[in-house]
Structure 1
Amino acid sequence: MQGQREKAQNVVIVGGGFGGLYTALALAQRKNHPPVLLIEPNDRFLFLPLLYELLSGELRGWEIAPRYDSLLAGRGLAWLQDRVERIDAERHQLHTSSGRTLAYGRLVIATGAESNTFAVPGADRHSLGFRSLVDVERLQRLVATLKSQRRPLQRIAVVGAGPTGVELACKLADMAEGSAVIELIEQGPQLLPQARAFNREQAALALRRRDVRLRLRTQVEAVEAEAISLRCHFDGQSTAHSETLAIRAVVWTAGLRFRAPRIDPAPACDSLGRLLCGADLRLQDHSDLFVAGDLAAPVDGVGTAGEAPITATPATAQVAFQQASVLATNLIRSLRGEPLEPFQWKDLGEMMSLGVGEASLTAAGVTLAGPAAYQLRRLAYLARLPGRPHQLKVAAGWLADWRP
């Protein structure tokens, strides 16, 4: 009986990205927190906002990709390197790819997002992504090859002029040092449609200074091993023409898709596949399941997927940072049978990397661009790295590298 009671009071977190890991760390700071198990198949956490600096060599791998066993050591948190395949909400059990069956009292689903190529022919097979250490290594090898060959009209196509595409295009242009043309391809009429006006203007300037070719109103029709087929509309005209470019690589940053593990009974989702949850981050119609990070689609009020208005929260690390504290509180309150808190997202500003040693930011009424913004962005993210011990280790490394 004692073992059953203990199982009913434990918390299992599925996914070790921003939503999952930071919720686990927030729970570890609470006195007498329940037993916590983090399930994540990768051995390293990846701080995605600084992935561009890892690509360009401005930061080192250990700084933005610490090991989970190091981050969780001494915190009273357990980590299982496995992947959850199915969640049985009625039996309070989950099943992993290695064949384990685990019981939970409260479950957090935080499996994040992955690249979405929108079924464009050849895109899955011939495109590179930019969401993993493997992706970084592939791009570094590619740029090194292009610089060593110096052939005319070598091209890298970056698909999607959102934040990831713009930041990546600027870094690649600086790294290539004129050895390749960077083509930034966007289906819509402008780059960074959701960004602040100041950051959008600074991004446009940064792209022009680096001779990045921005192609707006341009749709990707197909991707091949050494070519990309485009359909281009000029100035919103109804007529369009097709064009095929020879390329050395395509990097796809144009969209995200959301896939939770199979959940029985199936929960409500929005049109993107995100899980519908209440303001308290509890999954609709599943009182013991919570959702965090990119996968969470909070709704106002109660209703079906077609009736409830979705509260717009971007799929960013900033949202997951803020959710973690509220979610940790609600998990403990839920286990105690107490009322839960609503999550309210606060927009703290926007920062963008715009090439080696440069950035742009808008926050608290302040706008800044260039090397000073780059340093402020690094310091802001230093304070967001997971766990005080890792923050201090990285800060010490930066101080050791500093030259007046």
Structure 2
Amino acid sequence: MPASSSSSSPTEPHPPQPHVCIVGGGFGGLYCALALQRYQRRTAPTFRITLIEPRDRFLFTPLLYEVLTDELKPWEIAPSYRDLIGPYPIDHCQDWVEQIDIHHQHITLRQGETLAYDYLVVATGSRLKPPATEGSHHAMPFTTLEDAWTLEKRLAELEPTATEANPIHIVVTGAGPSGVELACKLADRLGRQGHITVLDRRAVILRSHSLAIQRAASRAMAKRGIEVFTDVALEVVKANQVVYQHDGRTHHCPADIVVWTVGTIPQPWLGMEIPKQSPLAQCLVKPTLQLLDYENVFVLGDLAEMPGPNKSRAPMTAQAAYQAAPVVAHNLWASVHHRSLRPFHYHHLGNMLTLGKGEAVVHGLGLCLTGRLGAIARRWGYWLRLPTIHHRWRVFKHWLGFGK
């Protein structure tokens, strides 16, 4: 165990509790904090837990698309941290981290406060890959609740005057999961008052997914009249159109709204002393998810090159971070109690994509569910992964028509 960051007097009957700082309140950080406090309840309190997250709400990102079609309310997918961790001995420090000093074991916050730690968990996730296309400032992202509100506001401005003869033209750049799911939801919301175009530079949609999912997505988009162009080279995004190359020709696609969903990259390390990293700028970690040179620092989620099956790396997905969180929580507890640490093993459980209002595809464990049945399976699969039992119960009662 590292030297404690707190001091104690000789008259104190017990040494101070080790301080665990968790940077980032997404799937990796929040779920690690919740798992760690469950270890606290099994034995006498072992840790002081601080979750450092500047936002006031957690976002269950895979269900963000349902907000656009009013299938889910914002509070269901974005509960406040106060509601989630309020009942537990977890401190929420609502501030930005400016600097992590892993050598001296302290964190400098934007408002000037310095936090000393004994153990550190870094789970800051990823960010949208900065677009290199000229005029990309005309495109909007779709990764946060604020992005959803921005898109909602723009749609509300355009919808009153939209008609079948004069539809809202929306261009979605990227035919990965985010682009496909967003396109299908927008098509169902707008109906004949919208025209959706999906552009992707790759040869196929959903390149990293199974053929069954690719086919289901293709059918769903074709049914909704969504135009999909692959092998596209974007040239420029303008205020009212997108210019791109396809099949050796230049195309000018009208665009009232352009949504950018092309790729993510790890967030930069928040410190002068940067740990050893992979070519993708992910931190190199041991199988136990500790940094190679600092055993009291754990990194998980998109920021870490976590081990995957067959010597590959785990994908940069919420599923991988969700699986890593309890492993890190166990290893923190084991480090203090001198128990064996547990290596992380990623298990791919399949993929779930929404393909419009009340329609989805779920593929995994040898099964492929589509349509309404897929939507039900996806909704309940994600319900089981909501952060706390209390929040799951509130959402379940709402679905039954009781209360908020």
Q: TM-score, normalised by structure 2?
A: 0.91
Instruction: Give CA deviations for 1:171-217 in whole Å, capped at 9, x if unaligned.
Output: 01111112121110110000001112211111000000011110100
CA distance in 1, matches of 2:224, 2:35: 42
Query: 1:278 aligned to 2:279?
Result: no
CA distance in 1, matches of 2:79, 2:250: 45
- TM-superposed CA distance for 1:386, in Å, is 0.5
SS at match of 2:196: strand
Instruction: Give CA deviations for 1:293-336 in whole Å, capped at 9, x if unaligned.
Output: 12111259xxxxxxxx9732111111111111111011122234
Q: Which residue in 1 is equivalent to 2:12? A: none
Q: Which residue in 1 is equivalent to 2:149? A: 137
Structure 2 residue corresponding to 1:189, chosen from 203, 213, 220: 203
Which residues of 2 match residues 196-345 of structure 1 at below 5 A?
196-232=210-246, 234=247, 240-298=248-306, 311-345=312-346
Question: Would the aligned equivalents of 1:185 and 1:216 in 2 still touch at CA under 8 Å?
Answer: yes
CA distance in 2, matches of 1:260, 1:335: 29
More displaced 10-residue stretch of structure 1: 221-230 or 208-217: 221-230
CA distance in 1, matches of 2:302, 2:370: 28
Instruction: Give CA deviations for 1:264-305 in whole Å, capped at 9, x if unaligned.
Output: 4211222332222111111222222111112111259xxxxx
Given the superposition, is the C-alpha separation of residues 26 and 148 from structure 1 closer, same or farther in structure 2, using an over 3 Å criterion?
A: same
Instruction: Give CA deviations for 1:97-120 in whole Å, capped at 9, x if unaligned.
Output: 111111001111111111113322
Query: 1:102 aligned to 2:102?
Result: no
CA distance in 1, matches of 2:318, 2:379: 15
Q: Which residue in 1 is equivalent to 2:69? A: 56
CA distance in 1, matches of 2:134, 2:287: 39
Question: Would the aligned equivalents of 1:52 and 1:171 in 2 still touch at CA under 8 Å?
Answer: yes
CA distance in 2, matches of 1:202, 1:247: 26
Equivalent AA in structure 2 for residue 189 of structure 1: A
CA distance in 2, matches of 1:33, 1:173: 51
Given the superposition, is the C-alpha separation of residues 2 and 323 from structure 1 closer, same or farther in structure 2, using an over 3 Å criterion?
A: closer
CA distance in 2, matches of 1:341, 1:274: 21
Given the superposition, is the C-alpha separation of residues 251 and 310 from structure 1 closer, same or farther in structure 2, using an over 3 Å criterion?
A: farther
Question: Would the aligned equivalents of 1:116 and 1:257 in 2 still touch at CA under 8 Å?
Answer: yes
Question: Would the aligned equivalents of 2:307 and 2:345 in 1 still touch at CA under 8 Å?
Answer: no
Given the superposition, is the C-alpha separation of residues 337 and 266 from structure 1 closer, same or farther in structure 2, using an over 3 Å criterion?
A: farther
CA distance in 1, matches of 2:20, 2:181: 37
Equivalent AA in structure 1 for residue 156 of structure 2: A
Query: 1:150 aligned to 2:158?
Result: no
Equivalent AA in structure 2 for residue 395 of structure 1: F
- TM-superposed CA distance for 1:153, in Å, is 5.4
Structure 1 residue corresponding to 2:30, chosen from 18, 21, 42: 21
Question: Would the aligned equivalents of 1:294 and 1:316 in 2 still touch at CA under 8 Å?
Answer: yes
Q: TM-score, normalised by structure 1?
A: 0.91
CA distance in 1, matches of 2:20, 2:135: 41
Equivalent AA in structure 2 for residue 193 of structure 1: R
RMSD: 2.0
SS at match of 1:177: helix
Question: Would the aligned equivalents of 1:158 and 1:182 in 2 still touch at CA under 8 Å?
Answer: yes
CA distance in 2, matches of 1:352, 1:51: 12
Question: Would the aligned equivalents of 1:161 and 1:192 in 2 still touch at CA under 8 Å?
Answer: yes
Q: How many residues align?
A: 387
Question: Would the aligned equivalents of 1:89 and 1:264 in 2 still touch at CA under 8 Å?
Answer: no
Q: Which residue in 2 is equivalent to 1:4? A: 7
SS at match of 2:64: helix
More displaced 10-residue stretch of structure 1: 137-146 or 315-324: 137-146
SS at match of 1:111: coil
CA distance in 2, matches of 1:7, 1:296: 30
CA distance in 1, matches of 2:28, 2:394: 23
SS at match of 2:7: helix
Question: Would the aligned equivalents of 2:138 and 2:239 in 1 still touch at CA under 8 Å?
Answer: yes
CA distance in 1, matches of 2:153, 2:286: 45
Alignment identity in percent? 36
Question: Would the aligned equivalents of 2:307 and 2:344 in 1 still touch at CA under 8 Å?
Answer: no
CA distance in 2, matches of 1:63, 1:321: 18
Query: 1:116 aligned to 2:125?
Result: no
Q: Which runs of 5+ in 2 are unaligned?
A: 9-14
SS at match of 2:353: strand
SS at match of 2:219: helix
CA distance in 1, matches of 2:131, 2:17: 41
CA distance in 1, matches of 2:38, 2:230: 47
Given the superposition, is the C-alpha separation of residues 323 and 84 from structure 1 closer, same or farther in structure 2, using an over 3 Å criterion?
A: same
Question: Would the aligned equivalents of 1:226 and 1:246 in 2 still touch at CA under 8 Å?
Answer: yes
Query: 1:160 aligned to 2:174?
Result: yes
Question: Would the aligned equivalents of 1:219 and 1:231 in 2 still touch at CA under 8 Å?
Answer: yes
Q: Which runs of 5+ in 1 are unaligned?
A: 235-239, 301-308
Question: Would the aligned equivalents of 1:109 and 1:260 in 2 still touch at CA under 8 Å?
Answer: no
- TM-superposed CA distance for 1:148, in Å, is 1.4
- TM-superposed CA distance for 1:73, in Å, is 1.2
SS at match of 1:184: strand
Q: Which residue in 1 is equivalent to 2:106? A: 93
SS at match of 2:236: strand
More displaced 10-residue stretch of structure 1: 221-230 or 169-178: 221-230
SS at match of 1:91: coil
SS at match of 2:242: strand
More displaced 10-residue stretch of structure 1: 329-338 or 50-59: 329-338
Question: Would the aligned equivalents of 1:146 and 1:179 in 2 still touch at CA under 8 Å?
Answer: no
- TM-superposed CA distance for 1:337, in Å, is 4.3
Structure 2 residue corresponding to 1:40, chosen from 53, 58, 73: 53
CA distance in 1, matches of 2:79, 2:382: 15
